[in-house]
A and B are shown apart, each in its own frame.
Chain A
Amino acid sequence: MIAPAQRPDARRHLLGIGGLSPQEITALLDLSEAEVAVSRQTEKKKSVLKGRTQINLFFEASTRTQSSFELAGKRLGADVMNMSVASSSVKKGETLIDTAMTLNAMQPDILIVRHHSAGAVALLAQKVACSVVNAGDGAHEHPTQALLDALTIRRHKGRIARLIVAICGDVLHSRVARSNILLLNALGAEVRVVAPSTLLPSGIEEMGVRVFRRMDEGLKNADVVMMLRLQRERMEGAFVPSVREYFRYFGLDAAKLAHAKPDALVMHPGPMNRGVEIASEIADGPRSVIEEQVEMGVAVRMAVIETLLARAEGNT
């Protein structure tokens, strides 16, 4: 597997899982555990980032991820500002650089950025003086999602190494899949992908995964079943013929899940298409940890923000 190269200034930013060492990943997960405890207290606020400014810059709408980052920043004591830039008003990347310069002039300490174009967050990071967290860039990476998935798995299974993790569905368009493939491989899991070939990227066999086109084979003995969202515009003839056909062969239901280990975890990055990639009874069933993933999301984002700002301020 060819791991993507790390940028030289990567330590100031979190632009992707690519380039992180297993030690760095583990350290982030360990700190996240402590943040979980903070979030479960009555008094949920730390003062470690008192006086710091965090700007959430979302070029692509996402209520869930944006709220999660907002809460993470606030629980650390930072002042958090949300900026949603509707993609319709964005005149391509021209304003991406302009926006970066404008925000930079406001002296933020950290920028959380989501953009619909792969590489856009790294481009923006080159133009600002503060730390940048990639909250999802096109089909490239979504590192905090992979970290929260790993944290969820580790809390249930005690480890990542040697677990069989099946990532199922639209791998082609998924930044979640790419970040997870990188992270799970870094920590020694056996990663599988299960999807129709129209939803798999070129060269997938060389990305450090075993490839399956049937759910019963791909889920066999799996410890974790990770479902991916299928965008509506892709499900009616463009990449798969119909919702019912997709659900029949690739939707997670009880019969397919029966091939996984009895204690297998069911995960989904959300938002779910019930009855498309996952049956409601499974999403709400005893093996689902989907809600817990949301909780872990806040903890992981707290850990990431705290770590980057500590580094930027030379405290580590």
Chain B
Amino acid sequence: MSDRPLVIEKTRIVDPARGLDAVGTIIAVDGRIAAAGPDALNQGRPDGATVIDGQGLAVLPGLVDARVFIGEPGGEHRETIASASAAAAAGGVTSILTMPDTNPVIDDVAIAEFVMRTARETALVNVFPAAALTKGLAGKDMTEIGLLADAGVRAFTEGRKTLADPALMRRIMTYARDFGAVVMHETQDAALAGHGVMNEGLLASWLGLPGIPGEAEIIPLERDLRLAALTGCRYHAAKISLGESAAVLSAAKRRGVAATAGVSINHLALNENDVGQYRTFFRLSPPLRREEDRLAMVDALANGTIDIIVSSHDPQDADDKRRPFAEAEAGAIGLETLLPAALRLHHSGAVPLMRIVEAMTAAPAKLLGIDRGTLKPGAPADLALVDLDRPFVFSEELIRSRSKNSAFENARFEGQVLRTVVSGRTVFEAAGE
């Protein structure tokens, strides 16, 4: 590692893995954290170090985003691994779990290795490909879970899809358990959701849009949790959106089911009213729900029922979004706004900063079994230097993602990433820093 050592002094260090929130110094040498804490300077600065005054700023472990859709291979016009990694770096995200909904689908070792190789050659951040549960995401034959896990695949997921067949789901979970593989699953019953394009209710009814009832999420979630109990599989509900889902999950956890859950930042920050008059950038899956559900998601995050926050970054090109609402593709980009949007919960006092950061660092790192998401000595030096209070407007020209479908276009945030470091190397610096 040719990079010079990095020292960030007099900064607030927030490291949930160690329960540390204190002012101190961070020293990174040879790509790893050498020391991080109030006493880190006891042994002095390493020679030739780049020294940054971190006064008034905070250093967080680099964020680990466990749900990122990318267009490579097959949809490079929407996003490449390189462009997604640039967006991630700008958002303080240093590790991403990429979804298998590509063309071809990431369902065998060769394709997973292609992604890992492309990432090594082109990406600014760490890229971990997730593999499909079934070949071709066809919902029929299970993938080579063992071989894929041995090749370095950290999680298995059907991407945007939910497996309809409970017997197949059970067999996959049973098999995955033997390899200790994590099964991540979006839970939306395709038949019950039907042609629905937004949350079912009064708003959808006035707009004349078909709605998706909450039960379309709750029923497969309950099924999966029962199968997780039956099989002992390590199960992760990828994106829940309803207060009722949190209640179901909490009850399963109390029964001892080895389950975790994620929520997208969109469902913590937005609600169905944001759809307004057919604004397609707010067409998401699961759909944005009622304000009561958003508040329930915030509570579930605060009390630990929800384990992690994801961006659910999902680039769509303009042609696929500039359509009538029901014909537009679902999804919004989110890597660059994950942290600033999450910090709204800190500024409003809804969730303690430590818990918010944990849900985007230590918790997803643990879920994926990677040695990142922490600033403890010896860990890879992945970190984000953040001004937690600096206001900014997320205007379109800031967007680094190849697609511009942000649900936070022109949103006002407090909390800006000033510098992002991956394995000791600076991969992003905010303009003017």
Contacts and interface: CB of A to CB of B under 8 A. Distances in A.
Q: Do A and B come from one complex?
A: yes
A204 B201 CA distance: 9
Interface string B127-155: 00000000000000000000000000000
A153 to B, nearest CB: 23
A108 interface: no
The 4 closest A-B pairs by CB, nearest first: A93-B323, A203-B202, A140-B208, A119-B278
B200 A178 contact: no
Interface of B: 200-211, 213, 276-278, 319, 322-328
Contacts of A175: 208
Nearest to A7: B277
A262 interface: no
Interface in A2-46: 2, 4-5, 7, 18
21 contacts: A2-B202, A5-B276, A5-B277, A96-B323, A96-B324, A115-B324, A117-B325, A117-B327, A118-B324, A119-B208, A120-B324, A122-B277, A122-B278, A140-B207, A140-B209, A201-B205, A202-B202, A203-B201, A203-B203, A204-B205, A206-B202
B322 A97 contact: yes
Contacts of A123: 278, 322-324
Contact of B200 (A4, A5, A138, A202): A202
A15 to B, nearest CB: 9
Interface string A117-155: 111101100000000000001111100000000000000
A207 B202 contact: yes
Nearest to B318: A97
A119 B277 contact: yes
A93 B208 contact: no
A93 B204 contact: no
A196 B319 CA distance: 39
Nearest to A141: B208
A203 B205 contact: yes
A138 B208 contact: yes
A118 B326 contact: yes
Nearest to A171: B205
A123 B210 CA distance: 18
Interface of A: 2, 4-5, 7, 18, 92-94, 96-97, 115, 117-120, 122-123, 137-141, 175, 178, 201-204, 206-207
Nearest to A92: B327
A137 B277 CA distance: 13
Contact of A4 (B206, B209, B327): B206
B409 to A, nearest CB: 16
B405 to A, nearest CB: 15
Contacts of A141: 208
B153 to A, nearest CB: 34
A52 B201 CA distance: 42
Given A93-B322, A97-B322, A202 B277 contact: no
A209 to B, nearest CB: 11
Nearest to A117: B324
B205 A202 contact: yes
Contacts, number: 82
Contact of A178 (B203, B208, B213, B327): B208
A92 B323 contact: yes
B206 A119 contact: no
Nearest to A2: B202
A207 B208 contact: no
A38 B210 CA distance: 41
B205 A119 contact: no
A203 B211 CA distance: 11
B207 A119 contact: yes
Nearest to B202: A203
Nearest to B275: A119
A139 B211 CA distance: 12
A4 B213 CA distance: 21
Nearest to A3: B206
A139 B254 CA distance: 44
A19 to B, nearest CB: 10
Given A201-B205, A203-B205, 9 more contacts: A4-B277, A5-B277, A96-B323, A96-B324, A118-B326, A123-B322, A139-B208, A141-B208, A202-B200
Nearest to A172: B205
B206 A207 contact: yes
A162 to B, nearest CB: 24
A202 B207 contact: no
Contacts of A2: 202, 206
A4 B322 CA distance: 22
B319 A94 contact: yes
A122 B277 CA distance: 9
Contacts of A206: 202
A53 B276 CA distance: 32
Nearest to A138: B208
B282 to A, nearest CB: 12
B277 A178 contact: no
A228 to B, nearest CB: 14
A97 B328 CA distance: 13
A225 to B, nearest CB: 23
A76 to B, nearest CB: 29
Given A94-B323, A206-B202, A4 B328 contact: no
A191 B201 CA distance: 20
B214 to A, nearest CB: 11
Contacts of B327: 92-93, 117
A138 B204 CA distance: 12
B277 A93 contact: no
A204 B208 CA distance: 12
Nearest to A97: B322
A4 B202 CA distance: 11
Nearest to A205: B202
A140 B278 CA distance: 11
- Choose among A18, A140, A206 the residue with the greatest number of B CB atoms under 10 Å from its CB: A140
Contacts of A122: 277-278
B86 to A, nearest CB: 28
Nearest to A142: B208
B358 to A, nearest CB: 37
Contacts of A139: 208-210
- Choose among B200, B204, B205, B328 the residue with the greatest number of A CB atoms under 10 Å from its CB: B205
- Choose among A92, A119, A141, A203 the residue with the greatest number of B CB atoms under 10 Å from its CB: A119
Contacts of B211: 202
A174 B330 CA distance: 25
Contacts of A7: 277
Contacts of B326: 117-119, 138
